[in-house]
Structure 1
Amino acid sequence: MDRRTAGRQPDAPWEPSPRRDSVPADDDAREQWFRDLAHQATVFGLPIVWQHALLQREAAERPMSTFSHERDLARPGFAAFRVPNVDTLYSSAWIDLTSGPVDVCLPDFGDRYFTVQLLDAASNTQNISRRTIGAARRIRLVSPESPGSPDVPDEDGVVTMPVGSPVTWALMRIQVGTHDLAEVRALQDAVALVPLGGPSVLTVEPAAGDVEDDADAFLTTLDSALRLQGHRLEETALVMRLRQLAAIDDEPARRGVERGYREALALLDASRPLLGTRTGSGWTRVADKGRHGYNYLNRAVMNFVGLAANVVDENTSFNTYVDEHGVRLDGRAGASYRLVLDPPPTTDAFWSVTLYEASTGHLWDAPEGRYSVGSLSGGRDTSAGDSITISHERPAGGTWLPAPAGEFFLVLRVYSPGPDVVSGDWIPAPVRPVRPAGSTR
């Protein structure tokens, strides 16, 4: 070996410098720089931040790896997330895998529909359901990032399921039928989470503020979430670039961050129609739910509209804000609409149509609590051609879905959908105006 090179180490050109990257010195350029960074951070980070803010709130209320059960169906004012269904009881848990695996132990649900949806930090989804695990009753959740996992032997009848984040959101849904709330509540209580590494010792930082309206709170929460949950290796360059947002120390930078954050939220709001594939009948078939990969705009819009959308194999959904002529759905001034699903969607479980206020994504406070109609509320799975009237005023007869005196949208959910629904071969019929707004009888 040449003595002149002995003991020398080759350069490592991609080893990060300890020095923070430069930012423009000119005020206008500096504002634009941070505006662009904040816009990127908002689109990339929205599902991460909004979900982590929910974790922060709920971790302050109950231990990790413990279910909290909604004992009644969602109603107006439901605060956990937007666009909830009114077909199932929800249960929510944040499962901590940082100390080792956690077993999910299930009761016998019989023929009743259920799923335990598992969401990673960026809202990518897996399901524990009859579709994915068959008759298995014990599912072992494991995380590759879990340090010090106990040596847990394989057991007969245990299904091992790797998940995407050290802390995973489990959202359980159990079908509610007619007059069986007590039975469904008992099933909720029978689902057990068993940490094999002992009780959780994880500390979750308190919420930084209103992440839906405060740029500083949003960015602080994004930093907390990424430090807790990590990120994909392929996202390292993006995450490192966004760390420049820690250098906000002057007025031009703060103006840029605020502008970028507000403009990104406005973009997401305007992009609601991009949620899926237009069917040609006014409905949009919501696509790629829970399978976002690196489609950051798609996943941000999806979560901006409502957290915890499930994959199409488990729950295929359609939404529409317009009638068959492309006119916004609006219940004011005597407007009335009719929806006829003939044939109805094929399903191994059931389907429903639910109405929400367009401005908020929340349930409207409808008379008689009629927020939804479907195959469990009138037998339309066996009565092809039956129609749904959607109006502010009660119709003379038939199935009525009450609408507010204002703009609204509809979501059609098909649980355990048939192959023609999953493939897109079946699409819902258009919403037809019977009386347009402002007409007289």
Structure 2
Amino acid sequence: MGSMIAQKFREVSGSAPEASSTAEVAEIAEEAYLYGLQQVIFYETRYNYTQAEDSNVYVGVNRYCFVNEGKPITPEFKAVVTPNATTLYATAFLDLQEEPVVMEVPEITDRYFSLQLMDQYGIYFLYAGNQFNGTRARAYLIVPEFWGGKIPAGFATTEVIHAPSRTAFANIRIAMMEGSEEEVRHINALQDQCTITPLSKWIDNGHRGVPGKDQELVPGRYRTFPRMAELVSRQVDRQTAEDFFTYLSLVLNDPGMPLMKDSRKEAEMLSRLAKIGIGPGKDFLWSELDRKMQNSLTEGFINGHKKVKKATQENLVYMNGWMVLNAEGGFDTEYLTRAVMADAGWGGPDSNVSHVGGFLFVDSDGKNLDGKYSYTLSFDMDELPPVTEFWSIPIYDADGYFVANELNRYTISSFMVDRGDLHIKDGKLTIYIQHEKPSDPARVQNWLPAPEGGFRFTARFYGPKIPIVDGSYNMPRPVRVK
């Protein structure tokens, strides 16, 4: 079997694959799915940002993409599912292969903001912002491994961030409390002051960042394969086994994505992958495999996909029916946990220190939410969600998108409570969730318009306290009006 498989792979270097049977190939392929899902989604998403010129997020490397062009998310926006209605985003992919970059953020004192950096394994190596280290303006020097240059004297040691690899995903969130045109302009002005500048250009510019609009677009120079242009970013359900293992081969041969250091488990995984012809120095070609080999890889791919979906359900904390992902961090080589985090919400925080999401698809009787019915969601004012920052409860159609309504309202949030926008009676906040506009003006004030058909929620809790994380908070569920 080993010699037969060897003939089906064209290898750049290394020993021939040595899987002893089709059953072993399927077993290794399943392990490979768990091991590589996070990195594969990273690679695919980076392609869309930095190389796919037809993509609506194409900005090249080291430049922010302002989600929805820096405007509030509306029903017309379909780029991602379950978007947030209370933050404006800026995201980017860093390329540190030639030199460090300087990331600047302005002073932001009037609202929540965060800057977070994630490596290809889904591990965050920087959490910054008012929730973590204050509100003053900062410049962070992001230094790749093995860089031997001189760090400018003006940087504090706490602002020199040593990246574990030579590529990273950056995400800036700035809270939007009311969504007025004036507020959006204010947030956009803050976003314009968030810059990513190669160190040499930062020095040449007088130790100041260069706005993205003033920088030349630099496309990524990463290996690709033809079908990448057909695959939608982060839609892993559309991938075939051929797509996945071709991606994984590219990941393991990307010079900007080094392997985990001093990890015996990683070394053992690479040894297993080598048996199916995937690994550093190997060129994987699906078309040169025989049908038995392709079928075995496909079997393992499908089994891995199913295993991740099952584990995702088992990894949830139930908060009175709301489902919260159990994100404790520290999953470095816990491959199944890493895959679950990627599948459930790629790019989300690797632990609950920043924020968590709560998913809900059913009412208090366990029946699917449907816009042909009316519901109430009631909070005691002294038992609102326990957070240090803010919470919001957006509503989506069954596919995870906002639906147009006459109020242009897609969420209920703590900001609305704080402003006094919602009607409070007898110490209770009651939200009316229904498709038709209520006839009572007080109910219109608290109306969260529902789609006509099925719908769902993905609540956000920024700065969650322990009762949110461990599920002990008694989060109310919608009650169907009889």
Shorter-chain TM range is: 0.7 to 0.9
Match of 2:41 among 10, 26, 50: 50
- Tell me the secondary structure at the aligned position of residue 389 of structure 2: strand
For 1:283-337, what per-residue CA distance to the aligned partner results, in whole angstroms no more than 9, with x for missing partners?
Answer: 2333226653333223323322322212422213322333334x24321542534
Once the two structures are TM-superposed, the CA of residue 137 in structure 1 deviates from its matched residue by 2.6
1:363 aligns with 2:405: no
User: 1:38: which partner in 2?
Assistant: 29
TM-score (norm: length of structure 1):
0.82
1:96-115 to 2 correspondences below 5 Å: 96-115=95-114
User: 1:302: which partner in 2?
Assistant: 341
Instruction: Determine the C-alpha separation between the residues in 2 that align with 1:292 and 1:81.
Output: 25
For 1:117-176, what per-residue CA distance to the aligned partner results, in whole angstroms no more than 9, with x for missing partners?
Answer: 21110212232212333245334344452x444211342556122233310100111111
* Unpaired segments ≥5 residues, structure 2: 1-12, 52-57, 202-215, 278-283
User: 1:226: which partner in 2?
Assistant: 252
- Alpha carbons of structure 1 residues 348 and 251: separation in structure 2 relative to 1, 3 Å: same
Instruction: Determine the C-alpha separation between the residues in 2 that align with 1:76 and 1:258.
Output: 37
379-388 vs 308-317, greater mean Cα deviation: 379-388
1:266 aligns with 2:306: yes
1:252 aligns with 2:299: no
Structure 1: which amino acid aligns with 2:16? R
Match of 1:388 among 427, 431, 440: 431
Assess if the C-alpha contact under 8 Å between 2:93 and 2:169 holds in 1: yes
Once the two structures are TM-superposed, the CA of residue 380 in structure 1 deviates from its matched residue by 8.1
Once the two structures are TM-superposed, the CA of residue 254 in structure 1 deviates from its matched residue by 0.7
Match of 1:215 among 241, 245, 254: 241
TM-score (norm: length of structure 2):
0.75
- Alpha carbons of structure 1 residues 267 and 115: separation in structure 2 relative to 1, 3 Å: same
- Tell me the secondary structure at the aligned position of residue 386 of structure 1: strand
Assess if the C-alpha contact under 8 Å between 1:137 and 1:157 holds in 2: no
User: 2:65: which partner in 1?
Assistant: 68
- Alpha carbons of structure 1 residues 380 and 284: separation in structure 2 relative to 1, 3 Å: farther
Match of 2:16 among 20, 32, 35: 20
Aligned length: 409
For 1:189-220, what per-residue CA distance to the aligned partner results, in whole angstroms no more than 9, with x for missing partners?
Answer: 11111221569796222364335322212211
Match of 1:239 among 270, 283, 288: 270
Structure 1: which amino acid aligns with 2:473? I
- Tell me the secondary structure at the aligned position of residue 105 of structure 1: strand
* Unpaired segments ≥5 residues, structure 1: 1-16, 436-440
Once the two structures are TM-superposed, the CA of residue 282 in structure 1 deviates from its matched residue by 1.0
Root-mean-square deviation (CA, aligned residues, Å) is 3.0
Instruction: Determine the C-alpha separation between the residues in 1 that align with 2:89 and 2:291.
Output: 44
Whichever structure has more helix as a proportion of its residues is: 2
Assess if the C-alpha contact under 8 Å between 2:396 and 2:456 holds in 1: yes
Percent identity of paired positions between Structure 1 and Structure 2: 23
Match of 1:410 among 457, 469, 482: 457
1:280-429 to 2 correspondences below 5 Å: 281-288=320-327, 291-310=330-349, 311-325=351-365, 327-334=366-373, 336-340=375-379, 342=381, 343-358=383-398, 360=399, 362-368=400-406, 369-379=408-418, 385-396=428-439, 397-398=443-444, 399-417=446-464, 419-421=465-467, 424=470, 427-429=473-475
For 1:214-269, what per-residue CA distance to the aligned partner results, in whole angstroms no more than 9, with x for missing partners?
Answer: 22122111222232212213212213312333376110111122222233333433
Instruction: Determine the C-alpha separation between the residues in 2 that align with 1:337 and 1:264.
Output: 40
User: 1:161: which partner in 2?
Assistant: 161
- Tell me the secondary structure at the aligned position of residue 132 of structure 1: coil
Structure 1: which amino acid aligns with 2:172? M
Once the two structures are TM-superposed, the CA of residue 97 in structure 1 deviates from its matched residue by 1.9
Instruction: Determine the C-alpha separation between the residues in 2 that align with 1:291 and 1:222.
Output: 22
Instruction: Determine the C-alpha separation between the residues in 2 that align with 1:273 and 1:401.
Output: 28
For 1:368-412, what per-residue CA distance to the aligned partner results, in whole angstroms no more than 9, with x for missing partners?
Answer: 443221112344889552022333444442523333444443222
1:434 aligns with 2:480: yes
